[in-house]
Amino acid sequence: MSNDSEAESAETADSEEEEVDGLQDGDFVKIDYTARTVEDDRLVDTTDEEVAEAEDVDTEEQDFGPRTIVLGEGHIFPSVEDDITGKEVGDSGTVTVPAAEAFGEFDEDQVRTISKDKIPEDDRYPGGQVRIDGDEGFIETIIGGRARVDFNHPLAGDDVEYEYEIVEEVTDREEKASGLLDMFLGLDLEIWFETDTVEEEQLVEEDEDEEAESDDEDEEESEPEYETVEVEKESLYIEATPQLTMNQQWMMQKQQIGQQLIDFTGVDRIVIQEVIDGGGMGMGMPGMMGGGGMGGGDIEEALEDADIDAEDLAEEL
């Protein structure tokens, strides 16, 4: 091989190494960011509580701090994701996201005139948010019996300036799962991994001799046979808090969120575990039969008064 060819090969190898430097698709990263509209500097979103407070945003019911995303999964605007790819922890950047990529261009056809009777009375005022035939919009004007409603996104037509800093690369599986749940649901949930032994139905495979005998004896296709076997499954447990079970995003996208958790953590299954805490409640039923809790003797007396045989009742239960 000539020296020129060797040099070209070396340059190609160096080039390939450079292409895989830095963060890549599939990497979990924590980022801090603040996004504002370019034209009028309106705050769109931020992970900085001080920035939110300065904009008079109610911060009591929101959690602030770095957000976990997975590169290549569309968790942020594509142009921001492209800018992060190849960078390292500690790097920062500013990206202008065009309106079409952010919240869409403003569409005049999405500003429609409807009968005001379709709007609840309490919402009939300029600026009121309404939902008509499944579409959400804001009332511009109400004149007579007609209302003009803008069904565009409130930020449609606005370019967005996105400032970010890469805070950390996440490698721990539990942190990855927690980060995904926080990103999708905005909830800090208790999670843990366990290996469980579970029963599973598996197809019984016939050996070649049995298959040959079966073919000779009967040309009809036989029903496949299954057997119950015990297998080990790695499970991601998530505590089913009231906040989770009532979360609208979870109710609508449970399957998709669960699949992402499986794909990115490598577990076999997701288990949503509900914990019922007695909270100090006894087994008695206060107020039952007009009195307080009853002891064992009281129960037997009550059954006798009702002409119920305690042994027969126990057998039925």
pLDDT at 293: 41
Closest to 261 measured CA to CA, from 189, 173, 168: 173
Half-sphere exposure for 281 (CA within 13 Å, toward CB): 8
Greater pLDDT, 291 or 103: 103
pLDDT score, position 310: 52
Question: 114: which strand partners?
Answer: 147
Q: Are residues 164 and 70 in the same domain?
A: yes
One domain, residues 140 and 119: yes
Lowest-confidence pick of 1-15, 201-215, 230-244: 1-15
Q: Give the position of tokens 């089913």.
A: 240
Q: How far is CA 216 from CA 97, 171, 213, in A?
A: 69, 57, 5
pLDDT for 224 equals 80
* % of the chain residues with pLDDT over 90: 53
Task: Enter the tokens of residue 182.
Answer: 């926080």
Least confident of 102-111, 129-138, 156-165: 129-138
Question: Residue 94 sits in a domain of what CATH number?
Answer: 3.10.50.40
Dihedral sign from CA coordinates of 236, 240, 245, 248:
negative
Whether residue 285 lies inside any domain: the answer is no
Q: How does pLDDT run across 113-146, given as a tens digit for each residue?
A: 999 888 888 888 999 999 888 889 999 999 989 9
Q: Which two tokens stand for residue 216?
A: 């000779």
- Asked if the structure places residue 47 within a domain, the reply is yes
pLDDT band at 283 (very low <50, low <70, confident <90, very high): very low
Total domains present in the chain? 3
Give pLDDT tens digits for 43-100.
999 999 999 999 988 888 788 899 999 999 999 999 999 999 999 999 999 999 999 9
pLDDT score at 221? 63
Q: What angle do CA 71, 73, 74 make, to 5 degrees?
A: 100
Look at residues 199, 290, 182 and name the one whose alpha carbon lies nearest to residue 243.
182
What is the SS3 string spanning 189-229? Answer: CCEEEEEEEEEEEEECCCCHHHHHHHHHHCCCCCCCCEEEE
Whole-structure pTM value:
0.67
Residues 51 and 31 occupy one common structural domain: yes
More confident residue, 20 or 159: 159
64 with 191, same domain?
no
* Sheet of strand 269-273, all strands in order from the earlier edge strand to the far edge: 191-203, 226-239, 269-273
Q: Are 191 and 239 in contact (CB under 8 A)?
A: yes
Report yes or no on 294 lying in a domain.
no
Assess contact for 269 and 233: CB atoms under 8 A.
Answer: yes
- Is 34:66 a contact under the CB 8 Å cutoff? no
Q: Does 180 share its domain with 252?
A: yes
Examine the domain organization and report whether 71 and 133 are in the same domain: no
Residues 67 and 41 reside in one and the same domain:
yes
In a domain, 88, yes or no: yes
| Long-range contacts (CB closer than 8 Å, 24 or more residues apart) made by 172-175 | 173/265, 173/266, 175/28, 175/68
Co-location of 113 and 80 in the same domain: no
Residue 258's H or E segment, with its range, is helix 248-265
Confidence band of 147 (pLDDT split at 50, 70, 90): very high
Range of the domain at 240: 172-213+225-273
Q: Are 59 and 83 within one domain?
A: yes
Mean residue pLDDT of the chain comes to 82
Q: Is the dihedral of CA 142, 143, 147, 150 positive or negative?
A: negative
Q: Does residue 34 share a domain with residue 98?
A: yes
